[in-house]
């Protein structure tokens, strides 16, 4: 049976179950991790790693406006939420909606933060001079929703190097440890507003999506000479397994029973990675050594997940493979209806992300539907739909 036939069968099965039950397949979705799944939490931080300005969000349904998602439209997790039959997307936990309205939290929440990693040090490593200035003045890190222009004007020192601009002007993101703290707070708020019984059912019945690891490499290991001198890539992947295991164990301890963790993507195929770390040949191919690092990490992630499952027979834990689906899109884009998989839509398509991907970036494509990548690191809405369909098949056992 071909992939499309399997997908069609999965969709029909889920639709039939939803029709019979008359409701969503799960009570909620909880999302943790990095910029691939951040729905706007970084909007509330004094950070350059943000996407709350055009052209981000230009293809987002109904609003066609930036939301804080690092995409022109919807994330793969947005499509996953739709596939599960939920009527609304889990709000970014730091958003005004989530902070002011407990009812908005009754179907889950999004705790993810661009630049977060399994290592807390990844989220805290790079602090901009502007962020330090605000902290010194006693300002709360999310006292005001800041704009891209604030940071462009305050971080002129970084303009001399694209690599530094991307990796050195980053305020501490919301680490995974801090995301867990927010989740504990979330549980208390839901219990207070909806009752302990409903809160417990929401916690145990929801699907938890965790997407992390790429920032640990691209924004930490690959640009941190101390780490690179201390660990080989293989040793660094070992160092990430302990915080991964601890995070899943903490989620389990807080009541999670259905957890889906994404693998690393082919990091060497991200347009910005090719630009920053060297191409794979004259045809603009992927960086092989980075892809090898992804594969090493993914093998160890699978083994670590299996070890956790052996400790907890009542835990459903799935590692979602996004490496192969994304590699297939990059290697053979036309088979899925795309025509450009090496260059991103935004700007030159080689490096731009976050504040470099702005309204005035020259060269931005008019129609992103034929592009696999929206910016230097993140897929387009159309590619996210393909990835979400793959996750749907892999995640059936979580439902």
Q: Which of 8-22, 328-342, 367-381 has the lowest mean pLDDT?
A: 8-22
Residues 338-352, mean pLDDT to the nearest whole number: 97
pLDDT tens per residue across span 77-108: 999 999 999 999 999 999 999 999 999 999 99
Q: Stretch 107-132: mean pLDDT, rounded?
A: 79
Query: What integer pLDDT is reported at residue 124 of this predicted model?
Result: 80
Is residue 146 in a domain? yes
Peptide bond into 55 cis (omega under 30): yes
Assigned domain for 102 exists: yes
Q: Considering the chain, what percentage of its residues have pLDDT values greater than 70? A: 81
Query: Would you call 153 a catalytic residue per the annotation?
Result: no
Please give the pLDDT value at position 370.
98
In a domain, 15, yes or no: no
Residue 53: its pLDDT value, please? 98
Predicted pLDDT at 21: 52
Task: Give the domain extent around 201.
Answer: 28-398
Q: What is the mean pLDDT of the chain?
A: 87
Of all helices (H) and strands (E), which one includes residue 390? helix 381-394
pLDDT tens-place string over residues 210-241? 999 999 999 999 999 999 999 999 999 999 99
In this predicted structure, what is the pLDDT of residue 324?
98
Q: Residue 121: count other Cβ atoms within 10 Å of its Cβ.
A: 15
pLDDT(20) > 90:
no
Identify the pLDDT of residue 23: 86
- Pairwise pLDDT comparison (188 vs 144), residue with the higher score: 188
Domain containing residue 55: CATH number: 3.40.50.1110
Is residue 378 annotated as a catalytic residue, yes or no? Answer: yes
The stretch 22-30 carries a mean pLDDT of 92
Mean pLDDT of 331-337: 97
Cα distance between residue 61 and residue 52, in whole Å: 15
Model confidence at 132, in pLDDT bands (50, 70, 90)? very low
Outline where DSSP puts E strands in 276-396.
316-320
264 pLDDT higher than 50: yes
What pLDDT does 8 receive? 52
Catalytic residue among 378, 381, 389, 390: 378
The predicted pLDDT at position 18 comes to 52
Does 16 map to a domain? Answer: no
What lies within 8 Å, CB to CB, of 194 at 6+ separation is 102, 106, 202
pLDDT on residue 159? 32
Question: Exactly one of 52, 293, 375, 389 is catalytic; which is it?
Answer: 375
Q: How confident is the model at residue 136 (pLDDT cuts 50, 70, 90)?
A: very low
Residue 2 lies inside a defined structural domain of this protein: no
Number of residues assigned to the chain: 399
Please check whether residue 171 is in contact with residue 127, taking contact to mean a CB–CB distance below 8 angstroms.
Answer: yes
Active-site residue, from 35, 128, 168, 263? 35
Q: Which residue has the higher pLDDT, 3 or 147?
A: 3
Residue with tokens 């039959």: 85
**Is residue 11 situated within a structural domain?**
no
Residue 303 domain flag? yes
Structure confidence at residue 22 (pLDDT): 59
- Tell me, what's the pLDDT at 336? 97
**Buried b or exposed e, range 130-142, using 16+ CB within 10 angstroms:** bbeebeeeeeebe
Number of domains in the chain: 1
Phi, psi of 118 (to 5 degrees): -65, -35
Compute how many other C-beta atoms are within 10 angstroms of the C-beta atom of residue 25.
Answer: 16
Q: How many CB atoms neighbour CB 62 within 10 A?
A: 5
Establish if 144 belongs to a structural domain. Answer: yes
The per-residue pLDDT for range 273-320, each reduced to its tens digit, is: 999 998 554 445 899 999 999 999 999 999 999 999 999 999 999 999
Directed axis angle between helix 3-21 and helix 381-394, to 10°? 80
């Amino acid at each position: 049976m071909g992939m499309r036939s399997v997908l069609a069968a999965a969709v029909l099965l889920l639709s039939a179950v939803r029709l019979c039950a008359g409701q969503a397949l799960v009570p909620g979705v909880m999302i943790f991790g990095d910029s691939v799944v951040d729905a706007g939490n970084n909007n509330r931080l004094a950070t350059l790693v943000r996407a709350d300005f055009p052209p981000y969000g230009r293809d987002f349904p109904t609003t066609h406006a930036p939301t804080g998602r690092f995409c022109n439209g919807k994330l793969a997790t947005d499509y996953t939420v739709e596939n599960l039959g939920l009527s609304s997307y889990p709000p970014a936990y730091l958003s005004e909606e989530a902070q002011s309205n407990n009812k908005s939290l009754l179907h889950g929440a999004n705790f993810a933060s661009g630049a977060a990693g399994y290592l807390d040090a990844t989220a805290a490593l790079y602090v901009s001079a502007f962020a330090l200035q605000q902290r010194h003045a006693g300002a709360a890190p999310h006292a005001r929703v800041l704009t891209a222009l604030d940071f462009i004007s305050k971080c002129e020192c970084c303009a001399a190097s694209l690599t530094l601009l991307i990796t050195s002007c980053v305020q501490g993101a919301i680490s995974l440890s801090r995301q867990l703290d927010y989740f504990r707070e979330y549980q208390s708020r839901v219990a207070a507003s909806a009752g302990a019984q409903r809160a417990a059912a929401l916690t145990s019945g929801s699907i938890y999506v965790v997407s992390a690891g790429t920032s640990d490499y691209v924004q930490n290991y690959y640009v941190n000479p101390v780490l690179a001198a201390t660990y080989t890539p293989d040793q660094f992947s070992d160092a990430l397994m302990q915080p991964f295991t601890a995070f899943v164990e903490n989620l389990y301890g807080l009541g999670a029973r259905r957890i889906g963790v994404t693998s690393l993507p082919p990091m060497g195929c991200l347009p910005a990675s090719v630009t920053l770390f060297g191409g794979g040949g004259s045809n603009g191919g992927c960086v092989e050594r980075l892809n090898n690092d992804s594969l090493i990490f993914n093998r160890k992630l699978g083994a670590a997940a299996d070890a956790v499952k052996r400790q907890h027979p009542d835990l459903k834990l799935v590692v979602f493979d996004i490496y192969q689906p994304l590699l297939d899109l990059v290697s053979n884009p036309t088979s899925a209806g795309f025509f450009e998989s090496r260059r991103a839509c935004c700007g030159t398509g080689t490096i731009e992300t976050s504040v470099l991907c702005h309204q005035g970036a020259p060269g931005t494509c008019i129609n992103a539907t034929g592009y696999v990548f929206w910016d230097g690191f993140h897929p387009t809405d159309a590619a996210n739909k393909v990835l979400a369909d793959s996750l749907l098949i892999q995640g059936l056992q979580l439902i």
